[in-house]
Every structure is written in C-alpha cells, then in structure tokens.
Amino acid sequence: MTRATPGAAPESALQRPRDWWRDAVVYQVYPRSFADSDGDGMGDIPGLIGRLDYLADLGVDAVWISPFYSSPLHDGGYDVADYRSIDSRLGSLTDVDDLIAQAHARGMRVIMDIVPNHSSSEHPWFQEALTAGPGSAAWDRYVIREGRGEDHEEPPNNWRSVFHGRGWSRMPDAEGNPTGYWYLHLFDTTQPDLNWENPEVHEEFRDILRFWFDRGIDGFRIDVAHGLVKEAGLPDFDHPEAGSGLPGFDGDEQAPEPMFDSDHAHAPYWDQDGVHDIYREWRAVADEYDPPRVFCGETWVPNPERLARYQRPDELHTSFNFSYLEAGWDAEAMRSSIDATIANHATVGAPPTWVLSNHDVVRHRTRLAPITDGAADLERGLSRARAATLFTLGLPGSLYLYQGEELGLHEVSDLPDEARQDPAWHRSGGTDGRRDGCRVPIPWSGAAPSFGFNDTGASWLPMPATWAGLSVAEESGVDGSTLEMYRAALRIRREEAALGEGPLEWLNAPEGVLAYRRPAAEDVIVVLNLGDAPVRLPAAWGTDVLMGSGDAIAVLDDDGEEIVVIGGEISVWLRG
C-alpha cells in the first residue's frame, strides 16, 4: 500500500471518478442550521458556499445536503412543493450552480436529497387534486381511497403515521367540507403519499433526476427509499406495540408507526418487493451520465439481508445501514452488525455504509452517554462518541458524518416547547418528536446568541450558551479537540492508511474490547475499549499508535515487553 509523500496534495475524490462513492466520507449538511449568510436566522446556500473551505479542510469527499427545495417547511423541507426550484429563504438555482462549481473546485462531490414517497400538500399536483374528484388523473397521482363505514367516515384501513395518529386524512370538497374519500400520509397531513402505481409519477421523478444531474449534481440520498410501494389492496396491519417512530426517542401510547419493525412481519407499506423496480429504473438514469451519478437510500429495513437487496448491481449504489447506528454502546451488537453488514453487502458486491448521527436521531454524544442520576453524563458521552467515531472511521466502506458531530455537539434536550418545529411533536401532543434537538445551528465562533452562525444573532432554534467552547474557532488548532481528532482521522484514513476498502479481520481482544485488523491498509489495528477502566493491549499489536480518541501510553509489561495501555472508553489506531 502506498503512503502519500509528505506535503503532496491529497488524492482527490474527483480523480477517482467512477468509484469514489465506495469509500467516501460524506458530510451531511442540514442547510437551515449550517451557516446563515443573510442574518434571517435560517441557514442558506450562500452560507454553505462560504464554509466549503472548512469542509475541504476537514477532509470530506462529498457533501449531502438535506432538502432545500421550495417548501412550506412543515417537515423541515421534506415536504417539497416544487422539486425544480429552491426555497427563496435558502437561495436560488444560481446559488446551487455556484455551490456545485465551488465544491467541485475543492475536490468535493455534491449529493442532494430527493423525496419521492410524498410531496407537500402545496405541490401543484395535490392542489389540483383538491379541486378534482374520484376517477381524475389528479387523484390517481396520490393514494386516495373511499373510507370505510356507512358514510365512509372511517379511514380505508388502520395504517398509522410515523408522526403519530392516523395515516389518513379526508379529502375535502370544493367548499372545504370532508368527503367520503381519504388520502394516505405516512408522515404529516401536509405530506400526501404519491401513488407509485401511476406511470406519470415514475416519469416525473426520472425527469427530476435528470434536471439535477444535468446541473452537475453527483448523486441523491433517497428519502424513505423503502416506503414508495404499498402492498396491493392496502390491507390492515397488525401494528406492533407503541414505540418510537425514529430511534433515540421514547415511545408513547399514541403509537407512531416505526420506520421499520424487526419483530413483526413487514408492514404493508415498508420494504415491499416492488420498490426495487423503481431503483432499477433510476439506476438506468444515473448510468446515462459520465461519470455515472450515484444513490444512497434511506432504507429502514428489518435486517442486513433485506438491506443488501437495495444494493444489487442494477439498483442503488449504497444505502444507510441503521442497524449499526442502533447497536448503541454494546460490543456484541456492534460486532454482529458489522459482520452481518459486511457479509451481506459482499453477496452483491456493494460497499457497506456507516453512520452514527443524522438529522432524525439523538446526536451520538448524547445517545451513547451513560445515564447517571437520571441524566445523560455528557462528559463520558463525549469520550464514547469520539471513540465510537474513530472505531467507525476504520471500517471498510463509506461513512456519513452529521454536521456538528466533529465539534462534539450534544443533543439540545431542553429546547422550549414553543421553539419546537418537528411535526411529530405537534401530532403527539408534545410527547414525542424531539428531532429539533439535533438540528440546532452550528457554533462557528465568538459569543452567544448565534456563535457566528450569522452576524445578527438570529437563529430559528435557540443555541445553548454552553456552546461557546465547542465552536469551530475554539477547537481549531487545539491539540486533542474533537475537531482536530476528526481532521487527523480523515487525513490518515484517506492519505496514509487507505482504510477505505478491503477486508477486516477480528482480533482476539481482552474482555470489553473490540479490535480488528485491516490487512490491506497497512495492517492498521483499530481498537475500542468499551469498558470504563484502562486496558493493557496484547504485545503482538505493537506500540506504534497512529492516533487515539484519548489516552494511550506505552508501558513495560511483566516480561519487560513494551505494550500499550489505553484508557476507558477510548479507541486507538495502531500501525500493526
């Protein structure tokens, strides 16, 4: 394996055009919360452009940007009113062209988010449906059915919304009065599900893909990729017990619909076999381009076997692997998720992906924190988060980072109720839907209230006063800061050890420790101590510590041999 010459320019992802996605580190930007150029309290595309140097310097290969389309923002932009235009609060098409050009100039790819399961109720198609009626072309673009009961006053079936409550709402007549017909919305009432039985829907989305690919977008993350096709006949579902719609949140008695359910039969609207036909069509569109454009599916599926089906050679390039995110701080669960994921992806020749945080789940510093006296111990949470990240960055495949995790940001769990915007918060009567806590804007520099997010101090969600010490400016150049740990790990992963692809071999490790070797990547050994006490590593692993998330010291063991001792809740990379 070649090592980069010191001082040589890093190998750019753009120089590896066809397969860059196989081992890419992708940075997720939630655009409303990243950087605000005009001071209105909402991040925007010019703000993101202004921070591209920061991302290039961090060492990521690509940026995935959550939706910035025209939207009434009832679900943070995952309610799209026009798939070909930009929300004026976030920028313009010219800004997106500029973003693509400027990212490419820095060697980074740009991945957009596409939302094909549902549109916004403000989309012209749904607006047309509101003035049309049964049997119309406009109705056939959505999932609209006659209700049950004598007066059709009951929904067509018992499906629930992921955001709590019924999965159906009544279609109004021209005067706004309820009719006997209902439209399906697996999410908010303002997100009617599209009807993927209708060829016009297929054609429209192929056209939307081309619209953006022609502008130079390198790929798409596909929202709710496992949900587009519903079982024929829309049968009732034997709903599992109340649980959380999204991981990291407590369930409640109003029973949202989980995004998937591993203990029960498949829900009749998730992970249906027919969904794969859509991705074959989309892959053909992506392959019309040179270099081919790529997809990453948001696929909440019950197990790694079902996940691998999405990555068959003529379907999606990659998909999110949420089993790893859900493994928590648990050696057994982490190891079995890694094994099953790698093994199943190998059957289809696809690289696995790994992710610890995103805009839907509790930030991993908080999620992995032990609970002490009823509260998350955020100091230990930070050690664990850093260790989990370093351990994950050694895995083969592609990795997704969520904005702010490189600063060690924690979940903001105490947002005032009136500030919350997650639709699930409102639909659950304030008992669930706390996704705003991971969407608080990023601290860049300086003092409260907005820490350099903009110049005006405005912020669509309030930022904690304690974030002063977690800003980019505060952490830059500081030895041992979380930001510098990410920078170093990404550089070594790409330039020095080429950890991206290749096999992984587990090593026999002391109790409570996970360790694997990457034989094709300079034999790097990646170690994670999940226990809270220091651990002596076997002498055979050597003492050449490439980097660590915390303390690692060389000592002499009883036989006078040099060994490494690592602290509790720490990960290290050793050159084997």
The residue nearest ligand GLC at its CB is: 78
Contacts to ligand GLC from residues 262-301, by CB under 6 A: 298
Active site residue 288: yes
Q: Does 361 bind ligand GLC (CB under 6 A)?
A: no
The catalytic residue among 75, 95, 218, 223 is 223
Q: Which of 42, 73, 96, 115 binds ligand GLC (CB under 6 A)?
A: 115
Q: Does 436 bind ligand GLC (CB under 6 A)?
A: no
Which residues touch 537 (CB under 8 Å, ≥6 apart)? 510, 513, 515, 527, 563, 564, 565, 566, 574
Comparing C-alpha atoms, which of 4, 31, 15, 34 is closest to residue 451? 34
Which is closer to ligand GLC, CB of 87 or CB of 298? 298
Q: Which of 140, 218, 223, 405 binds ligand GLC (CB under 6 A)?
A: 223
DSSP 357-380: --TTS--HHHHTSPEETTEE-HHH
Q: Does 187 bind ligand GLC (CB under 6 A)?
A: yes
| 127 φ/ψ angles, rounded to the nearest 5 degrees | -60, -40
DSSP-derived pairing of the beta strands 25-29 and 398-402: parallel
Which is closer to ligand GLC, CB of 435 or CB of 494? 435
Provide the minimum distance between the beta carbon of 525 and ligand GLC in the complex, in angstroms, as a whole number: 35
Q: Does 81 bind ligand GLC (CB under 6 A)?
A: no
Q: Which of 75, 95, 411, 495 binds ligand GLC (CB under 6 A)?
A: 75
Tokens of 67: 């939706």
Helix (H, G, I), strand (E, B) or coil at 118: strand
Are the C-beta atoms of 406 and 482 separated by less than 8 Å? yes
Which one-letter DSSP state was computed for residue 454?
-
Q: What number of CA atoms fall less than 13 Å from residue 108's CA on the CB side?
A: 27
First to last CA, the chain: 13
Which is closer to ligand GLC, CB of 28 or CB of 454? 28
Which is closer to ligand GLC, CB of 359 or CB of 493? 359
What is the per-residue binding string for ligand GLC in 320-359, x denoting contact by CB under 6 A?
A: ---------------------------------------x
Q: Does 522 bind ligand GLC (CB under 6 A)?
A: no
Are the C-beta atoms of 390 and 571 separated by less than 8 Å? yes
**Residue owning tokens 């079936």:** 157
Are the C-beta atoms of 250 and 157 separated by less than 8 Å? no
Provide the minimum distance between the beta carbon of 133 and ligand GLC in the complex, in angstroms, as a whole number: 27
The catalytic residue among 153, 288, 379, 557 is 288
Cα pseudo-dihedral 274, 278, 284, 287, rounded to 10 = -110
Q: Which of 21, 64, 69, 78 binds ligand GLC (CB under 6 A)?
A: 78
Q: Which of 224, 361, 499, 566 binds ligand GLC (CB under 6 A)?
A: 224
Q: Which residue numbers are catalytic?
A: 223, 288
Binding site for ligand GLC (CB under 6 A): 75, 78, 115, 187, 223-224, 298, 359-360
